[in-house]
Amino acid sequence: MIPEIFSHRSIRSYLPEPVPEEVLRRILEAGVRASTTGNMQLYSLVVTTSPEIKERLAPCHFNQPMVTQAPVVITFCADIRRFSLWCRQRGAEPQYDNFVWFVNSMIDTILASQNIVLQAENEGLGICYLGTTTYNAQEIAEVLGLPEGVIPVTTLTMGYPDKMPPLTDRLPLEGVVHRERYHDYTPEQIERIWAEREASEETAGLLEVNQLSNLARIFTERRYTGKDNLLFSRKYFDALKKQGFFNQ
Amino acid sequence: MIPEIFSHRSIRSYLPEPVPEEVLRRILEAGVRASTTGNMQLYSLVVTTSPEIKERLAPCHFNQPMVTQAPVVITFCADIRRFSLWCRQRGAEPQYDNFVWFVNSMIDTILASQNIVLQAENEGLGICYLGTTTYNAQEIAEVLGLPEGVIPVTTLTMGYPDKMPPLTDRLPLEGVVHRERYHDYTPEQIERIWAEREASEETAGLLEVNQLSNLARIFTERRYTGKDNLLFSRKYFDALKKQGFFNQ
């Protein structure tokens, strides 16, 4: 068993120590060893340690304190630009500025990110993925100077953990695995899949704080509301077109 | 260092031995330990071992022999359905059928897949990602019976390796890492980044076989042509709409 996989938790609070350059290099090397479409490596990893640039990134991530506190922030970008520049320089005509290549390059990017997470944890570091990256991708692109053909997909904050939170629960494996084909969920299965989480002390605490009758409503009425979802969908799709991933 | 990360290669040929159920279970458990947006686990893993269903999947993957040869085929699907069913069952109104949640669920899905890859390799198995998943997503959805709110993102073939190919080369790390902000590529940098690969024996062999003047043209004129890219972009975007990820 790979211990890093089974002991992974998101770390949102870091010690001030910087990450030594040789450690950072091994971590980044881990990223590029991941599988990649046609060995094209359709990503760029923007490693930010400068306090000034982290300050400028922070509002893009709704000022979550870990963005400025973490010694290292890595913005993972889908990148069809580098490959396309190479093609043109060789008299070959690249046409990767379309949707399926956004998806392919995003897959490449996320595979690299997860290798980086596990190797970072192997080096004693902690990380947190920032889902806010897709909400404010265009703003991040401006801060980091991302040209056409490059779009942010996710971000990691990284540093030595200040404290180690408990492992987060997951749905029962049977709730997410289907054998042979997809078997649609019956209402009884849905009940069973969420039963343990809904009965937990953590959920009871959340309901109390949010003054809501159930956990699902915390998601739909507080965390990820319809209005926000539509706003961020439009923003990310606009960013996709603006950064040149939807010429079709 | 995590050895599985640094020794990863795609395995396209497998021994006939099946994967024991307890091994498969550990591997799948590794998948669900990955980070996930708001702990929502927006994915379903469809594990196919039945020869008949693998036969039906094979044409969706251009009949690459490993689809029927591998004892296990896992189709990784972005899934907003299970979460939405739960919300509705609780009187909460989910609105996750839009683009940013396609992206979020895709990130969840790919993170799980890479944990599964590394744990599988830790168990002595070999894997290959099938990029063909995004080309024929709708056809795969039909074979696997994927309902609205579920779309295939990637596929792994998995089994005990028949032979171990050499490690694949990668671009120099400096070619994909940017410090602080994105630094656009000069023509000289593009030359340097691809120099080693272009000078390799492998490239020489490919040019000979393809009767083309350079490696970039093999990509644009043989492997991933403009015509195919546009076709598959339209197909995947249509599948996205049909499966209910673009109601905005």
ipTM, 2 decimals? 0.98
pLDDT one-digit tens code per residue, B61-112: 999 999 999 999 999 999 999 999 999 999 999 999 999 999 999 999 999 9
Residue B192: pLDDT band with limits 50, 70, 90: very high
Cα angle B45, B48, B51 (rounded to 5 degrees) comes to 170
Does residue B116 register a pLDDT over 90? Answer: yes
Shared-domain flag, residues A90 and A193: no
Q: Is residue B247 part of a domain?
A: no
B27 & B135 share domain: yes
Residue B8 in domain: yes
From chain A, pick out residues whose CB is under 8 angstroms from the CB of B77. Answer: 182
Q: Say whether both B124 and B202 belong to one domain.
A: no
Name the β-bridge partners of B103. Answer: none
Residues A47 and A131 in one domain: yes
Q: Mutate which of B180, B183, B193, B223 to test chain A, going by most A C-beta atoms within 10 A?
A: B180
Q: Which domain holds residue B191?
A: 173-223
Nearest to B224 among A38, A143, A230 (CB): A38
Q: Could you tell me whether strands A150-159 and A126-129 are parallel, antiparallel, or unpaired per DSSP bridges?
A: antiparallel
What 3-state DSSP class applies to B131?
A: helix
The arithmetic mean of pLDDT across residues B209-233, rounded, is: 98
Asked if residue A199 and residue A148 are part of one domain, the reply reads no
Residue A228 domain flag: no
The total number of structural domains in chain B stands at: 2
Residue of A nearest to B218 (CA): A92
Query: Which positions 59-88 of B are in contact with A (Cβ < 8 Å)?
Result: 77, 79, 81-83, 85-87
> Which residues 198-237 in chain A show a CB within 8 A of chain B?
213-217, 219-221, 223-226, 229-230, 232-237
Check if B38 contacts A (Cβ < 8 Å).
yes
Residue B180 with chain A: CB contacts under 8 Å? 46-50, 53
The pLDDT score that the predictor gives to residue A145 is 98
Which residue bears the tokens 């949102």? Answer: A12
**pLDDT single digits (tens) A45-98:** 999 999 999 999 999 999 999 999 999 999 999 999 999 999 999 999 999 999
Q: How far apart are CA A174 and CA A193, in angstroms?
A: 8
Co-location of A131 and A72 in the same domain: yes
Domain shared by A14 and A112, yes or no: yes
Q: Is residue A59 situated within a structural domain?
A: yes
Closest CA to B155 of B116, B206, B101: B116
Domain assignment present for residue B248? The answer is no
Instruction: Retrieve residue A248's tokens.
Output: 């079709």
pLDDT in tens, B7-25: 999 999 999 999 999 999 9
Whether residues A85 and B185 touch (CB distance < 8 A) is answered with: yes
Task: Look at residue B248 and tell me whether its pLDDT is greater than 90.
Answer: no
Q: A42 and A72 share a domain?
A: yes
In a domain, A229, yes or no: no
CATH of residue A39's domain is 3.40.109.10
pLDDT band at A141 (very low <50, low <70, confident <90, very high): very high
Calculate the average pLDDT of chain B: 98
Q: Which residues contact A3 (CB under 8 A, 6 or more apart)?
A: none
A60 and A179 share one domain: no
Is the pLDDT reported for residue A248 higher than 90?
no
DSSP state of A98: S
From chain A, the residues in CB contact with B107 under 8 A are 106, 110, 129, 131, 153-154
What pLDDT is attached to residue B123? 98
Judge: A95–B229 Cβ closer than 8 Å, yes or no.
Answer: yes
Q: Which of A66, A81, A99 should we substitute to test contact with B (largest number of B Cβ atoms within 10 Å)? A: A99
Biggest distance spanned by C-alpha atoms of chain B:
64
> Bridge-partner residues for B78, per DSSP?
B43, B151
Residue with tokens 């265009």: A138
The one-character DSSP state at B200 is S
In this structure, are A133 and A87 located in the same domain? yes
A90 and A135 both lie in a single domain: yes
Burial class (CB in 10 A: 0-12, 13-18, 19+), A83: buried
How close is the nearest chain B Cα to the Cα of A13, in Å? 17
Search chain A and give the residue with CA nearest B233.
A100
Residues A7 and A124 in one domain: yes
* Residue A159 domain-assigned (yes or no): yes
In a domain, A248, yes or no: no
Query: How many other CB atoms are found less than 10 A from the CB of residue A199?
Result: 9
User: Which chain B residues are within 8 Å of A182, Cβ to Cβ?
Assistant: 44, 46, 77, 144-147, 150
C-alpha distance from B20 to closest chain A C-alpha (Å):
15
In A, minimum Cα distance to B4 occurs at: A2
